[in-house]
Chains A and B, each alone.
Chain A
Amino acid sequence: MLYEQHKAEIDGILARYPVDRKRSALLPLLYLAQDVYGRLNRDSIREVAEILDLPYTDVFEVVGFYTLFYNEDVGKIVLDVCDDVPCCFCGAEELVADLENRLGIKAGETTKDKVFTLRRVKCIAACDQAPVLQANLEFHNRVLPDKVEAMLTKLRNDVEAGKPVSISGRLAER
């Protein structure tokens, strides 16, 4: 169970907020549950709701509202390409097409081997680095065509080598 297995981390999160306001811990606990279970399905939502004494539907609503919570299966690595203005005029469209081609999926889909999910996302505050993406919320700047293959290979090798992954970005490095 989530609480028993991650007691120290959860207690640490709860300690940040007033004792009568533990609902504030909802977003951080959902991130944790998402990493542990790979996505936020009914059971994991129910577990988080129980830890915080919240109705299931309240938590369900929150999961649906925020784009970084996944209620469907995603790969081990979620690739988020910004296609906003100005990125879409600075190589983002070409990058999405290139990734779709190499991965054999469309944006919004997951590869058959469940390694990569590709998404188009809104501004990620790195406009000067366009075309830019996040892989499990780690920034990859100026992903020009000659860098794509090497990036994908490294990410795939990390997964195959058993390097810990966090789709919630809890382990994100620079």
Chain B
Amino acid sequence: MPKTEIKEHIVMRNRDIENIRDLDVYLANGGYAMAKQALTSMTPAAIIDEVKKSGLRGRGGAGFPTGVKWSFVPKELNPKYLVVNADESEPGTFNNHEIIDENPHQLLEGIVISAFAIGANVAYIYIRGEFAYGARFLEQKIAEARERGLIGKNLFGSGYDVEIYVHRGAGAYICGEETALLESLEGKIGQPRLKPPFPAVAGLYAKPTVVNNVETLTNVPRIIEKGADWFRSFGTEKSPGTKAVSISGHVKNPGNYEIPLGITIREFIFDWAGGMRDPNLPLKFIIPGGASSNWLTEEHLDLPMTWDDMAAAGTMLGSGAMVVLDTSVPVVRAALKVDEFFKHESCGKCSPCREGTHFLVKVWERIDEGHGRVGDIELLADVGKQMLGKCFCPLGDSSVSAVNSAIKFFRPELDAAIDAQH
């Protein structure tokens, strides 16, 4: 099957234009012209309308339509805030990392346009604490743009102010959940809030707030520049555009790739990422959308990579993070590592997640160490059942994906691991 090439990158433009991270290079390639156009000759409603028409869906995981999210913000309540979710922490995901380091100004321009569209004068970029360099780098880039009058007061003579501040998290996956992120930005421990009220109505400091992912906002200047129809020329009807997808594990060429939404998993792994690393070790399973997602195996290779197709197959496109593992990987160890992650990252707010993730790890651990007991697989399934749908936020549910996937696809291997111990 021939590789479906994209003519140009929408978000990873650093792959097309060398040194686009430098302000002069970005400006020479039309940078900040769309911010100027938006603020001086477009109404917020017109911008929201264009983004709605483009069908842009949130790139952070949930895939919610961005323009629709923006339109939930009540006009009469002020101040409003735009918060950028740069807390990229889902195991397997590293595409925001590249956008921040290599194409920062397109993100900043997207923030300026989007802040204007929702009526916010202040935007905070909540960046994970481990991106210490990225945080410093973004601060430099903001300062450069501010010096040239591209961020700050009375932008382009429009009378509109947009200030952008960088706020570093401090190591907590849960802060990628938007309400936990807001708690953390308010200087508290990152535990999710009960919804409703949704952030659009009562978010940061209980003010109307839009929380958008880095990649989502980086799309915005190009949509304004080239229009919704151009954006829709990439991808599918319900999942338009491209997606920066990270691929890692046992493939020949791990890394980030900006794909048109809708190509198959087979094409992505074998044509884009070079296929399996070791010809003697075939594919065993795929964690297709970050550690939270249900696993897939060889039988799913022809699944198109869109939000809806992945959901119909019982998994998700998630944050765009595919982990490909070969037959050298023991299923018990993989499931243990995934659930160790969720145990470590559980915020402790609700019991099913706080206790459940401990139970899961305890059982996986004893099987992994050679002390598995008869009935442990049923026990794992039962704990999972007690957690699924009963946790305060999606984190707890996510830890059940590894349990259910391992049982669904690799039951004989799990049974053998326990039998060998008796």
Interface residues of A (CB under 8 A from B): 16, 18, 21, 23-28, 30-31, 52, 54, 58, 61-62, 65-69, 80, 83-86, 88-90, 121-128, 130, 134, 137-139, 168-170, 172-174
Contacts and interface: CB of A to CB of B under 8 A. Distances in A.
Interface residues of B, number: 58
Interface string B176-189: 00000000111111
B249 interface: yes
Contact of A86 (B88, B171, B248, B344): B248
B92 interface: yes
A30 B321 CA distance: 32
A164 B94 CA distance: 29
Contacts of A61: 189
B31 interface: no
Contacts of A169: 129-130, 132-133
B187 A27 contact: yes
Contacts of A125: 88-89, 93-94, 96-97, 128, 130-131
Contact of B133 (A27, A86, A172): A172
Given A24-B186, A127-B321, 7 more contacts: A16-B165, A65-B347, A86-B250, A86-B323, A139-B133, A173-B133, A174-B101
Interface string B99-136: 00100000000000000000000001000111111001
Contacts of A170: 132, 136
A99 B174 CA distance: 29
A121 to B, nearest CB: 8
Interface stretch (B22-30, B264-272, B308-316, B334-342): B334-342
B254 interface: yes
A67 B172 contact: yes
B136 A86 contact: no
Contact of A23 (B133, B187, B249): B187
B54 interface: no
Nearest to B247: A128
Nearest to B126: A27
Contact of A66 (B88, B90, B94, B169): B169
A12 B345 CA distance: 31
Contact of A127 (B91, B96, B129, B171): B91
Interface in B317-351: 321, 323-325, 328-329, 333-334, 337-338, 341, 344-345, 347
27 contacts: A16-B167, A27-B129, A27-B168, A31-B170, A58-B188, A62-B188, A66-B170, A66-B172, A67-B171, A84-B337, A85-B323, A86-B248, A86-B249, A86-B324, A88-B333, A89-B250, A89-B334, A90-B250, A123-B93, A123-B173, A126-B94, A127-B246, A127-B321, A128-B248, A137-B132, A169-B129, A172-B132
Nearest to B185: A24
Interface of B: 88-94, 96-97, 101, 124, 128-133, 136, 165, 167-173, 184-190, 205, 246-250, 254-256, 287, 291, 321, 323-325, 328-329, 333-334, 337-338, 341, 344-345, 347
A106 B173 CA distance: 25
A31 B130 CA distance: 12
Contact of B323 (A24, A31, A62, A127): A127
A123 B248 contact: no
What 3 A-B pairs have minimum CB-CB distances, sorted nearest first?
A169-B132, A67-B171, A26-B187
Contacts of B190: 65-66
A121 B340 CA distance: 11
Given A31-B170, A125-B93, A125-B97, A68 B186 contact: no
A128 B133 contact: no
A138 B90 contact: no
Nearest to B97: A125
Contact of B91 (A85, A128, A134, A168): A85
Contacts of B187: 23-27, 52, 54, 62
B132 A127 contact: no
A31 B89 CA distance: 20
A152 to B, nearest CB: 20
Interface centre among A62, A88, A169 (most CB of B within 10 A): A169
Contacts of B101: 174
A72 to B, nearest CB: 15
B137 to A, nearest CB: 8
Interface centre among B168, B187, B205, B255 (most CB of A within 10 A): B187
Nearest to A170: B132
A21 B129 CA distance: 21
Looking at A30, A61, A80, A124, the one whose CB has the most chain B CB atoms below 10 A away is A124
Contact of A21 (B94, B205, B254, B321): B205
